[in-house]
Amino acid sequence: MKVTVVGAGAVGATVADNIARKELCEDLVLLDIKEGIAEGKALDMMQTAALLNFDTKITGSTNDYSKTSGSDVVVITSGLPRKPGMTREELIGVNANIVKGVAQNILQHSPEAIFIIISNPMYTMTYLTLQATGLPKKRIIGMGGALDSARFRCYLSMALKCSPADLNALVIGGHGDTTMIPLMRYATWNSVPVTEFLDAEQQKQIISDTMVGGATLTKLIGTSAWYAPGAAGAAMVEAIVRDEKKLISCSVPLEGEYGQQDICMGVPVILGKNGWEQILDYKLNEEEQALFSKSAEAVRGMNDVLKTL
Ligand SMILES: NC(=O)c1ccc[n+]([C@@H]2O[C@H](COP(=O)([O-])OP(=O)(O)OC[C@H]3O[C@@H](n4cnc5c(N)ncnc54)[C@H](O)[C@@H]3O)[C@@H](O)[C@H]2O)c1
């Protein structure tokens, strides 16, 4: 197995660090456009191998795509992160050009790769990658729901004073502060609906904290977060390279599912060695379906901006 992570910044380096620690592949390439940063971080990580006991070989590359040749999975994190007060959507102008160029370069050297897109605005960047590469839709996957669902479980666990590992909870829809949909009705604590333990006010607070989870961190740190995004990206790589058939909320191209088409949106999918293998049809109630449609409208508006760039 060979995995490439493009962008050796905060998120990319954390994805790579998690992949190496878990030995998800034999060869891991970290690529960045900034001279030396990928080589430096790769070497720094290689120097943890003796301490952490992993055998993954990590190579850094300054924009030399030949080193990424034959990758099975590629994670794209290149692009600007948001600053406090910014929305993810404001990044579209700069990041669209970066992501498109990167995807085309990768494709030349790894025509069989499965793409995981992390750069923001992630839903539009996933849609753009689909268009720019012309790859089969099952090999294009956006990372947003994995992170947002982990944040949802984190806030739920704090309110319930329980282990996040005992919780099942998904966020679907868009990946913006106003477009994501934490599915409270479907969230369970070891099979029991969490709604049995939380009053309406608590539920509302958890949903709202989850939706602005990224913005809260951006305000605290001064830039966008990386530990949870990095772990979420690596969890998706793990599901693919180990063929886990794991159910994860991911942004994938829809063709009628959840009433949408010609768009990439966050829905529950099964991830395995072929990329995303199946979309699960959760029975949304009227209110949830209305939120999904509204979210899709916002994402579609952002996709339209691509035509003007
Ligand atoms: N989808 C999510 O859930 C999620 C979560 C967190 C961050 N993000 C997004 O991920 C992206 C990266 O965030 P970060 O905090 O790591 O930013 P960062 O600034 O730390 O790192 C970005 C890296 O991309 C590199 N880069 C820029 N253009 C490039 C190109 N053409 N080729 C190769 N490398 C290039 C930069 O040199 C930099 O090292 C941002 O767009 C951010 O908004 C998404």
Q: How far is the CA of 10 from the centre of ligand 1 (A)?
A: 7
* 98 in contact with ligand 1, CB cutoff 6 A: yes
* 250 in contact with ligand 1, CB cutoff 6 A: no
Residue 239 pLDDT greater than 90, yes or no? yes
Rounded Cα–Cα distance for residues 108 and 131 (Å): 15
Bridge partners of 60?
A: 30
**Taking residues 274-303, what's their average pLDDT?**
97
Q: What pLDDT score does 257 carry? A: 98
Query: Which residue reads 């605290």 in tokens?
Result: 220
Q: Which atom of ligand 1 is the closest one to the Cα of 229?
A: 5
Q: What pLDDT score does 86 carry? A: 86
- pLDDT-based confidence at residue 87 (cuts at 50, 70, 90): confident
* Mean pLDDT rounded to a whole number for the chain: 97
The residue whose C-alpha atom lies closest to atom 32 belonging to ligand 1 is: 33
Q: Which residues participate in catalysis according to the annotation?
A: 175
CB count within 10 Å of CB 7 equals: 28
**Taking residues 200-205, what's their average pLDDT?**
98
What region, left, alpha or beta, does residue 84 occupy, with left being phi > 0 and alpha being psi -120 to 50 degrees?
beta
* 228 in contact with ligand 1, CB cutoff 6 A: no
Q: 59 and 28 in contact (C-beta within 8 Å)? A: yes
To test ligand 1's pocket by mutation, which of 6, 11, 61, 171 has the most ligand atoms within 8 angstroms of CB? 11
Q: What pLDDT score does 253 carry? A: 97
Tens of pLDDT, residue by residue over 130-170, are: 999 999 999 999 999 999 999 999 999 999 999 999 999 99
Q: How far is the CA of 166 from the centre of ligand 1 (A)?
A: 32
The residue whose C-alpha atom lies closest to atom 18 belonging to ligand 1 is: 9
Rounded Cα–Cα distance for residues 60 and 8 (Å): 9
Q: What pLDDT score does 69 carry? A: 98
The residue whose C-alpha atom lies closest to atom 43 belonging to ligand 1 is: 81
Between 197 and 83, residue with greater pLDDT: 197
Tens of pLDDT, residue by residue over 110-126, are: 999 999 999 999 999 99
Q: 256 and 161 in contact (C-beta within 8 Å)? A: no
CB count within 10 Å of CB 118 equals: 29
* 253 in contact with ligand 1, CB cutoff 6 A: no
Q: Is the torsion defined by CA of 66, 67, 68, 72 positive or negative?
A: positive
Q: How far is the CA of 118 from the centre of ligand 1 (A)?
A: 8
Residue 263 pLDDT greater than 90, yes or no? yes
Q: 250 and 143 in contact (C-beta within 8 Å)? A: yes
- pLDDT-based confidence at residue 309 (cuts at 50, 70, 90): confident
Q: What pLDDT score does 88 carry? A: 86
* 121 in contact with ligand 1, CB cutoff 6 A: no
Rounded Cα–Cα distance for residues 123 and 169 (Å): 20
CA 243 and chain centroid, separation = 18
